[in-house]
Amino acid sequence: MTEAVRGSFDQAHDAVTRRCGNVLGKRRLEELVVAAAVDVDGFYRTMIPVPCSREMPLVVQADGKGVVMRPEALREATRRAAARTAGGHRGRLVPGEKPNRKRMATVACVFDTRPAPRRPHDVIHPSGGRSGERPARPGPRSENKWCTASLVRPPEQVIADAFDQAEARDPKHLRPWVVLVDGARHQLDLIAAETGRRGVTVHVLLDFVHVAEYVWAAAHAFHKPGTAEAEAWAADHLTAILAGHAARAAQDMTAQAEWEHLSAARRQAVDACERYLTGHLDQLHYDTALNNGWPIATGAVEGACRHLIADRLDITGARWALPGAEAVLRLRAVVSNGDLDPYWRYHAAREHERLYPTPDQQGFTLTA
């Protein structure tokens, strides 16, 4: 199982054959991996998280990443879109066209962190460069990180699982809860519904890296990419946003675009940035986050997407059936959480109960 989760099924089959001989076929190996993942939910319902002091923020992050699937494993809307484009063959997609071959996986992670207060200039270099007299303060680091991911369950269920983990760590809601997302409206709606259902107060922040991408695009509408003027423009506006003046930054760039009479093509990036900032002002309180030492970027869940999905499910030529992809994804999350050994003991005990049901088996412990 470890080999199948780490690398391709072919590599896992070769590893088993080298050590044990030709005792297992590839299809049976895939079936065993699917069977090995059946107790993940039950295992985590029995886990007790490591306690933390109320001064340590509790961080929840969520994101999504597509997995290339076999046609029968696609969601219905994607399958219909793929069927509409299956009539002809072209050597290259047109700009903006999607190949309609991926199913979106939802990934969420929960972790504790120690407060690390910072200033805006600790995040963004001043336009003139650092003097060296005030070195940049390090940002907060994740501790006790827990990840979950699924291709089968809907995003609202994955986010609910993440909030279950957060509530297990802080059942009385005594710690500050920080939720970081990439700005997708459906994610914000799901988080709002979940927090309302649980009656917990959270501080929702947009990933600052996504904000910076919009600001840099606007900077290149005014100045040539790679120039000192573009870097200074972006640094000034990003520093203002970090200081809590996102609305003013949006107004300033719009006023500058009107004063310089930008063409429609160049004005498009400025308008997109202005709409993004003004449409998410409630999630841009970076001044509060920096002052309290909270994280402002979704690096943890981005890394989880890369490790859980890209490093295994996105290998060249892979086309996944739904049961196998879901099992590998869930087991990779268990390995990433550092829970493989206790999970395997739990799974072996549950498997023994399923295979040999007896009225008094609850009084015994499986030892071999």
pTM for this model (two decimals): 0.86
Of 365 and 308, more confident: 308
CB 143 within 8 A of CB 114: yes
Confidence of residue 361 (pLDDT cuts 50, 70, 90): low
Residue 349 has pLDDT above 70, yes or no: yes
Q: What is the pLDDT of residue 130?
A: 62
The pLDDT score that the predictor gives to residue 83 is 75
Tell me what pLDDT residue 358 has: 74
Question: What mean pLDDT do residues 201-215 have?
Answer: 95
Question: For residue 195, what are the CA distances in angstroms to 6, 13, 89, 148?
Answer: 35, 45, 47, 19
Span 178-205, average pLDDT: 92
Please determine, for residue 333, whether its predicted confidence score (pLDDT) is greater than 70. Answer: yes
Residues 6+ apart with CB under 8 A from 212: 234, 238
Rounded-to-10 torsion of CA 172, 39, 112, 204:
-70
**pLDDT 10s digits, 32-55:** 899 999 999 999 999 888 888 889
pLDDT, position 72? 86
**1-17 pLDDT tens trace:** 677 788 888 888 888 88
pLDDT in tens, 90-148: 566 555 555 778 899 999 999 999 999 999 988 987 766 666 667 788 889 999 999 99
Q: What would the mean pLDDT of 255-278 be, rounded to a whole number?
A: 94
Confidence class for position 328, pLDDT limits 50, 70, 90: very high
| pLDDT band for position 295 (cuts 50, 70, 90) | very high
- φ/ψ of 113, rounded to 5, equals -150, 155
pLDDT at residue 246, as a whole number: 95
Instruction: Kindly indicate the confidence band of residue 217, based on its pLDDT and cuts at 50, 70 and 90.
Output: very high
Does the pLDDT at position 258 exceed 90? yes
Q: SS in 3 state form for 266-312?
A: HHHHHHHHHHHHHHCHHHCCHHHHHHHCCCCCCHHHHHHHHHHHHCC
- What is the structure's pLDDT at 90? 57
| Mean pLDDT for all residues in the chain | 88
Q: How far apart are CA 233 and CA 237, in angstroms?
A: 6
